[in-house]
Structure 1
Amino acid sequence: MFALREHGSKGVEDLMKFVMVGSGAVGCYFGARLLLAGHDVTFIARGERLRALREQGITLVHGDEPTRIPQVGAVESLNEVDAVDYVFLGVKTWQVAEAAQTFSALTAEHTRFLTLQNGVDAPHEVAGMVGARRTLGGIVRGFFEMTDLTTVRHVGVPPTIIYGQIDGGRSAPTDQLLPLLIEAGINAEHSTDIEASLWEKFLLVTALSGVGTVTRSTVGELARAPRRATCSTGCWSKWRRWHGRSASACVTMPLTGRWPSLIRSPPRRPPRCTAT
């Protein structure tokens, strides 16, 4: 169970303003953790989800231990938000381009936009609107699900965000995000080559989800079926060889020796989970 830290317990210089664009499982989870750490967090939502967040707040569930935050700030549009420090983009991949169109409302140079989608396109779509220096590509590790409109359950690997500026550079706001995440109880890494990190996860997800979709198998079923696991491994290897010819980001992928164990040893991966 997590404890809510009062805003007053943090110095004014330590209090950051975050906006979660997309208040699904990922947005609600990480937004709630930052809120519990004492930061100012606003959730962007619509329809029933917006009404539920305003009326019920958010409940986090780890194992059998729920933590309820009875009141959260939730609005329908970024136009209702003042200048912020960090924008976390948690919408579906196919919604990124539309969401990025709204970022023009946030013009402060120090604002950073963090993408949290699987795949490799989202950071570049956002960078096209706000610039590469202000865009952070991000990777999420962990399994999150909404059990109702305001309750998010985490299972599996520790919640983790790996991020880095999409232009490969560094800046004070980018560096500052790392300790903020860690203080909020979120495992975090600042990648010096986020493009390679994005491709690494993309190749893993596509191999696992491709076989899972064709066979209609969960992660647990894949792990228990050697032929399916071998098929996933083969798909990953083919993806890696193809990408090695087309670009340089994954030529030295570090997963070569770990991939079979990731498939066959899923103690931290919920057996009923699917990869999409």
Structure 2
Amino acid sequence: MRKVGATMNILVQGAGALGAYFGGRLLEAGLNVSFFVRERRAAQLAKEGLKIYSPEGNFEERDVTVYTEAEQVKNIDLVILAVKGYHLDQAIPQVQKIVEQTGAFVLPLLNGIEHLETLQQAIGKEKVLGGFASIIATLNEQGYVEHTSGSSAVKFGALHNEQTEICAQLEAVHNDVKTNILREENILKHMWKKYIFITSFSGITSAMQLPAGFIASTEASFAVARKVILEMSMLANKEGIILTEQEVEVMATRLKGFHKEATSSMHQDMRKGLPLEVEHLHGGALRLAAKHAVTLPVIETLYGILKPYENGKPSGL
């Protein structure tokens, strides 16, 4: 296989469904990819390897380079940060150490928007790219990725003029991978559109505790989800991100376009009794709303409903 991007060394921090999928696709294409994970996940990858089941093609790699200590990481050009929002605070010292040792740029694939400022304060504005991922996937009990949406994508872009070269290197990979690696000029607007949509989609599916088909078939539920999109779009406007009425309606209509059994990662986590990103998504929106002295009544309601599940299944249930 031709070694695309052979001069670019990529570290994927976090090997949940998202990190393992996109890291696996880059590895499959011949890039130099390693993973930074916790001890338990490292042991699982050592035993089981990295395996992807996907409509975009299955993939398996038994020999995966894994690190568990930041001090072990050397010679990295790009860190793809693929942790959940609630793990960001504990990941920051590790990211700082890795960037200090290697000079790497960081591409965070977290949902939401607040993490950009957090990372910029930790490692410098020039080091933090903008980006996000679009995929519906989960890990099974063996730690294999089960990708259930028909497609997947990473969108990224420069937030600082020192990021031009690393963005060009990553963009060059697109044609060689079995996923979409897409560079966007106005990455902040694209991040906001993802934030708007995921806040609605994850909020309504988790609050209903039902998959996407019930958004389309229950008009009252769709109305709630649509109002979240309207509230978030207003918030984006306050942050300087201007969306047209058509862009907003496209997002609302998209809520009805999912396969009836498809659902959000937040709802999948709720089903498993795992922690939820409610503070990172809905809580983050409420903090931004407070900054601009506006109210988000529907988001506030969903936040109140989901907050007890933030750390997993509430005790006593």
- The alignment's TM-score, normalised by the length of structure 1, stands at 0.86
Q: Which moved more, 1:27-36 or 1:235-244?
A: 235-244
Match of 1:71 among 38, 63, 74: 63
Asked if residue 229 in structure 1 is aligned to residue 222 in structure 2, the reply is yes
Stretches of structure 2 that go unaligned for 5 or more consecutive residues are 267-317
Report matched runs for 1:38-49 at 5 Å. 38-49=30-41
Q: Give distance in 2, aligned partners of 1:70 and 1:224.
A: 43
Deviations 1:97-116 (A, max 9, x none): 32122223333786221100
Q: Which moved more, 1:93-102 or 1:23-32?
A: 93-102
Q: Give distance in 2, aligned partners of 1:75 and 1:86.
A: 15
Residue 226 of structure 1 and its aligned partner are, at CA, apart by 2.2
Q: Give distance in 1, aligned partners of 2:188 and 2:179.
A: 21
User: Is contact 2:14-2:36 (8 Å) kept?
Assistant: yes
Deviations 1:177-224 (A, max 9, x none): 112244222212212222221111111111222222332222122122
Residue 264 of structure 1 and its aligned partner are, at CA, apart by 1.4
User: Is contact 1:168-1:194 (8 Å) kept?
Assistant: no
Residue 165 of structure 1 and its aligned partner are, at CA, apart by 2.2
Q: Give distance in 1, aligned partners of 2:56 and 2:132.
A: 26
Asked if residue 99 in structure 1 is aligned to residue 98 in structure 2, the reply is no
Shift in alpha-carbon separation, 1:63–1:37, aligned structure 2, 3 A: closer
Match of 1:209 among 178, 202, 213: 202
Following superposition, which runs of at least 4 residues in structure 1 exceed 6 angstroms of deviation? none
Report matched runs for 1:93-132 at 5 Å. 93-103=85-95, 104-107=97-100, 111-132=104-125
Q: Residue type matched to 1:262 in 2?
A: R
Deviations 1:118-171 (A, max 9, x none): 100222222222222221121111111101343101121411011112337751
User: Is contact 2:9-2:31 (8 Å) kept?
Assistant: yes
Q: Give distance in 1, aligned partners of 2:164 and 2:61.
A: 33
User: Is contact 1:112-1:174 (8 Å) kept?
Assistant: no
Q: Residue type matched to 1:74 in 2?
A: V
Q: Residue type matched to 1:237 in 2?
A: L
Q: Secondary structure at the match of 1:26?
A: helix
- Higher share in helix: 2
Match of 1:62 among 48, 54, 60: 54
Q: Secondary structure at the match of 1:133?
A: helix
Q: Residue type matched to 2:261 in 1?
A: P
Q: Give distance in 1, aligned partners of 2:134 and 2:39.
A: 28
Q: Secondary structure at the match of 1:84?
A: coil
User: Is contact 1:127-1:135 (8 Å) kept?
Assistant: yes
Q: Secondary structure at the match of 1:185?
A: coil
Deviations 1:231-276 (A, max 9, x none): 21122112222442x2211444762231232011214xx6242353
Q: Give distance in 2, aligned partners of 1:100 and 1:179.
A: 28
Report matched runs for 1:1-276 at 5 Å. 5=1, 9-10=2-3, 14-63=6-55, 66-103=58-95, 104-107=97-100, 111-167=104-160, 170-244=163-237, 246-252=238-244, 255-267=247-259, 271-276=261-266
Shift in alpha-carbon separation, 1:56–1:138, aligned structure 2, 3 A: same
Q: Give distance in 1, aligned partners of 2:64 and 2:245.
A: 41
Shift in alpha-carbon separation, 1:19–1:170, aligned structure 2, 3 A: closer
CA RMSD of aligned residues (A): 2.4
Q: Residue type matched to 1:14 in 2?
A: A
Q: Give distance in 1, aligned partners of 2:245 and 2:44.
A: 43
Shift in alpha-carbon separation, 1:109–1:195, aligned structure 2, 3 A: farther
Number of equivalenced pairs: 265
Stretches of structure 1 that go unaligned for 5 or more consecutive residues are none
Q: Residue type matched to 1:139 in 2?
A: F
Q: Secondary structure at the match of 1:43?
A: strand
Q: Give distance in 1, aligned partners of 2:160 and 2:144.
A: 36
